Structures are given as structure tokens and as C-alpha cells.
């Protein structure tokens, strides 16, 4: 299978699923996460509240509502140069 790299706003692509990096609370407080929630609609917020919290490195699947078919949410760590576990936690978000 060929891989194609596209540099573009993921919310503008016609795809079945997008991957959203989020905080463990799934509450879309800012950045791209917030923008994805706005475009998908309030139903996404309701579904994320029903799911609750994720551990850093965990992922969950929701409907994409108005944005796409599915959204894969992965809880990423907050960057800290002092935290030696950040690299392993960040890697676990994408495995």
C-alpha cells in the first residue's frame, strides 16, 4: 500500500477518520481539540462526557458527527522537560 503525505488542515480533508490529540479529560479546552469539537457539533461533547477520562497514552473512538465518520481521540501528556517519562508516554499515544 502506498503512503501519501498531505500537509493540510485535517478538518478540511474528506476522510473516514481523524486522530485528535486531547487531554485525558476529553474536554476540548483549547487548540485543535477545541476546533474539532466545534466542527463536529455538540453531540461530540456529550459522547466524550459519557466516556469520561482516559489515561495518558490511551485512545478511544467516537462518532465524527458533522466532521467525519469517526474521531480517534488519544490522550497525550503535557510537555515537561523535567519529566523523564514524557517520551514513553508520548510514544504510547501513537502505538
Tens of pLDDT along 12-42? 999 999 999 999 999 998 899 999 999 999 9
61-86 pLDDT, tens digit each: 999 999 999 999 999 877 666 666 66
Topology of the domain covering 13-93: 3.40.220
Give the other-Cβ count within 10 Å of 39's Cβ: 15
Domain ranges of the chain: 13-93
Short-list 19, 27, 75, 18, CA closest to 47:
27
Mean pLDDT of the chain: 88
Short-list 57, 44, 43, 42, CA closest to 18:
44
pTM above 0.95, yes or no: no
* Residues that are catalytic: 33
Amino acid at each position: 500500500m502506498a503512503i501519501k503525505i498531505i500537509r493540510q488542515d485535517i478538518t478540511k480533508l474528506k476522510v473516514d477518520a481523524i486522530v485528535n490529540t486531547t487531554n485525558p479529560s476529553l474536554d476540548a479546552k483549547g487548540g485543535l481539540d477545541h476546533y474539532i469539537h466545534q466542527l463536529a457539533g455538540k453531540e461530540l461533547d456529550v459522547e466524550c462526557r459519557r466516556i469520561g477520562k482516559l489515561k495518558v497514552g490511551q485512545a478511544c473512538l467516537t462518532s465524527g458527527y458533522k466532521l467525519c465518520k469517526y474521531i480517534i481521540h488519544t490522550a497525550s501528556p503535557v510537555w515537561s522537560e523535567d519529566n523523564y517519562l514524557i517520551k514513553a508516554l508520548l510514544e504510547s499515544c501513537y502505538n
